Structure 1
Amino acid sequence: MASTDEIVTRLFSRPTPPPLEPGTKVYAPELTPAIAKLKEHKFVIAALHLANDDIHHCHLIAQDNEGDSTADLLHATLHRREGDYWNSKYWWSHVGSHPTVSISEAKLFVDNCEKISKTKGDDIKLRERQWKELKALVEWTRTNCH
């Protein structure tokens, strides 16, 4: 069984930042069961699923914990990654505040992702920002959720 550190190393050693919208394609499907079996807080597991482009499994955890600012942040982020921009902004409104993000900047980021999506383009700066955001979210949950 893989440890949390091994999974984090594997996920964050990707050669390029993940797509803004991975669709239904999970980055490393073989990690899905390993992530689910970790003896970690549910938000760590959800953040790792999100970093693995596994929107579905992250969504199950976020949805079951609505009302918690971290769960709502995960929910907002996953909907942005789904391309469900209106719903992402809805969930950002429910986050209230969170130590990892400015809500107004997060909503602006959603708008920027939506604009690039409409042109069917690819913006490496947006993908890099998203990757930095996902790394910070995993790190924050590992440090603060027990």
Structure 2
Amino acid sequence: MSPSPKTTDEIASHLFARSPPPLEPGTRVYAPELTKPIAGLKEHMYVIAALHLANDDIHHCHLIAQDNEGDTTANLLHATLHRREGDYWNSKYWWSNVRSHPLIPSTSDAKSFVDSCETVKKNREDDTKMRERQWDELKKIVEWTRSNYKS
């Protein structure tokens, strides 16, 4: 048995080694044993929030995003987490509050992706390509926050 990941690099590598997770993970955290190590990292809170989101830990990401409402990156995290929990209307509301962010070329495209996620779920269609897009998005959020926010 390998030791539990402890550093930011180890945790990110562990999380992104898996296949794209469900569009909506529900209340199940991917690796519950990483919740405390992520929270304890000596990183900026947005890096921690992004890692929680990549760990399907909507609750802990939400705490950080909500506490920083009004900041563009916090709003982006907020919009993404609500999409992942299936709260589509609320996700689109938060995308409206993002307005402009280096990770999002257009909020209308982000809202369109929310609509597509809702349609796929409602119609029980194959969501493979959408899970891949979401996984790429989550990776970019983690990478971008790590590059742009220092503890």
State yes or no: 1:111 paired with 2:115: yes
RMSD: 0.9
Looking at structure 1, the residues matched to 87 and 14 of structure 2 have their Cα atoms a distance apart, in angstroms, of 28
Deviations 1:6-63 (A, max 9, x none): 000000000x200000000000000000000000000000000000000000000000
Q: Name the residue aligned to 2:13.
A: 9
SS in 2 for 1:121: coil
2:146 is matched with which residue: 138, 142, 145? 142
Question: Kindly, what percent of the aligned residue pairs are identical?
Answer: 74
**Distance between the aligned counterparts of 2:77 and 2:125, measured in 1?**
25
Q: Is 1:60 paired with 2:60? A: no
Residue correspondence of structure 1 range 1-146 to structure 2 within 5 A: 2-14=6-18, 16-101=19-104, 102-146=106-150
What is the TM-score with the length of structure 2 in the denominator? Answer: 0.94
Gaps of 5+ in 1: none
Paired with 2:22 and 2:110, the residues of 1 have a C-alpha distance of 17
**One-letter amino acid matched to 2:86:** G
Matched residues, number:
145
Q: Structure 2: state its 5+ residue gaps.
A: none
The C-alpha deviation readout for 1:90-123, integer Å capped at 9, x for no partner, is 0000011000012111101000000011123341
**One-letter amino acid of the structure 2 residue matched with residue 111 of structure 1:** D
CA distance in 2, matches of 1:31, 1:98: 28
The 2-side partners of 1:58 and 1:120 are apart by 27
TM-score by length of structure 1 reads 0.97
Amino acid at match of 1:4: T
CA distance in 2, matches of 1:100, 1:121: 27
